[in-house]
Amino acid sequence: MKRVSSASLRAASMKRISSEPRRAASMTALPRRRFLLGLGALAGAGALAACSNEAPAGAPPAEAPPAPPATTTAAAPTYTGEAALVALGAAVSALAGELLGEAASGAGQGRYGAVPGAVAAYLSGAAAQHVAHAEAWNRLLTVAGRPAVDGAPLTVEPALRGRLDAARAPVDLLGLAADLTGTVTATVTAITGQVTEASAVALAAGVGPVAAMHGASADFLLGRPPTAPDDPTAGALGPDALTV
Amino acid sequence: MTAPAPADVPILQTASSLVVLAADTYSSLQALAFGGGPSAPAPLRDLLAAALDELARARTDLATATRQAGGRAQTNADPRYAPVVEQALPTVRGPGDVVGLALTLEDVLAQTLVSDVVDLSAPEVRQTVAGHAAAAARRKALLLTFQSLLSTGRAELVASPPDLAALPPAAGTVGFPDVLFPTEKASPATEGAVR
């Protein structure tokens, strides 16, 4: 009986979707196109994820050329206006993808002791989706004629990487993941209310809830209460967090 | 600040109707011994309590936005799903049924809110709705995880904190099955509009 009841609810949903357009035709076309654009940008997510787990570069060799002389003229930011918000989305997703991917790699190498299979799967699975999100954000930039964001140029990157470097046990990785995905969720939720370009709104709408699911999964594994934040944008990064 | 437009009214009313139905359903499930009572798994009990708080905030925010857009706040449950829930509730026999019913409603609610973010005209309201979509997605993730663990026949795995070593690897990823949150189950804007 229980399965029939749940199934009937789902069937009602599916039937309605197939028989009744969500909006008037002229209004449905746009959202669908927007989501298709975002989905198209996610092609090859697995391969991208595999490329994201590189260890951070080490210190430069002794014979490295000296740094260029300091200048008193500040360089113009690479991204301004709405592009800066899209770049922020790319950077924060890339940061989560990089750090969680490195955590997964380190777990596979025994760096954090015995890592339960559920934790290892979480880290690699969430990392792959964040990398795919970064690629989708970057696709929006390149389609608009802007350069893709290279890596995760964010002011918060050194501190968060420091937390990963200091991690010693699976619970440290999960704590970092919970905080990091919370930052991604808050940032993308804030972006949703700041961008106006249709494809950016649609991508933010589809990415934010997935990042929230990463956070909820990490919280469960940690045994934390299942409460969503009262302020969904608390802790969000702004464009001023970009270092490019 | 951009005020919501009149065209946003049915969108917000339909979202409200799903929130009302979800809250009513959670209240019913919470009253069950294996939902919010002593024989329920602690994480499920906690989720039901948290969901009611979050849905109350959603209801208030959506009602405010509806009035700002010039409409009347929807206080009734979604007319399409309410009869189905009414029929399903007496068949709920254990935690797995609680999770199954809640999951179905949360999925429709979350997908509707995500779709609404794209369609709403006012940026501030888009952000508010996006926040509630994220909250619904969090609940969906947890319900997917609980459902997966309960389906193994080992209800003790749904614990707080869980025994990480005993969890199947899939428990780490079952909560986020999609790279982008889907919207194919989103309710049409007219479904819960005040008539």
The domain locations on chain A are 34-51+77-241
CATH code matching the domain that covers A34-51+77-241, chosen among 3.40.50.9100, 1.10.150.170, 1.20.1260.10, 3.30.1450.10: 1.20.1260.10
pLDDT in tens, B111-168: 999 999 999 999 999 999 999 999 999 999 999 999 999 999 999 999 999 999 999 9
Average pLDDT for consecutive 10-residue bins of chain A (244 residues)? 34 34 34 40 36 32 43 71 97 98 98 98 98 98 97 98 98 98 98 97 98 98 93 97 96
d(CA A35, CA A39): 6
Two structure tokens written together for B5? 């437009």
How many angstroms separate the CA atoms of A12 and A7, rounded? 8
- Residue contact A6–B88, C-beta within 8 A: yes
User: Cβ separation of B101 and A6 shorter than 8 Å?
Assistant: yes
Q: What was the ipTM of the complex prediction?
A: 0.97
pLDDT on residue B3: 75
Measuring CA to CA, how many Å separate A186 from each of A71, A98, A108, A179, A180?
35, 18, 30, 11, 10
- Radius of gyration for chain B, computed over Cα atoms and rounded to the nearest angstrom: 17
Residue A74 confidence (pLDDT): 61
At residue A183, the pLDDT reads 98
Residue at B171: amino acid letter: A
The CA distance from A91 to A77, in Å, is 15
Question: Which stretches of chain B drop beneath a pLDDT of 50?
Answer: none
pLDDT for the residue numbered A73: 61
Which is it for the CA torsion B183, A85, A38, A93, positive or negative?
Answer: negative
**Residue among A194, A226, A232 minimizing CB distance to B50:** A226
Phi-psi region of B70 (alpha: psi -120 to 50; beta: other; left: phi over 0): left
* CA dihedral of A10, B110, B114, A176, whole degrees rounded to 10: -130
Domains of chain B, CATH where assigned? 6-172 (1.20.1260.10)
**Residue-level pLDDT at A228:** 83
Best residue in B53, B116, B127, B146 to probe A by mutation, most A CBs within 10 Å? B127
Q: Tell me what pLDDT residue B129 has.
A: 98
Closest approach of B84 to chain A, Cα-based (Å)? 6
CB contact under 8 A, A206 and B105: no
Chain A nearest-CA residue for B97: A2
Distant-in-sequence, close-in-space partners of A146: CB < 8 Å, separation ≥ 6: A78, A79, A83, A86, A87
Q: What is the pLDDT of residue B35?
A: 97
| Predicted pLDDT at B188 | 97
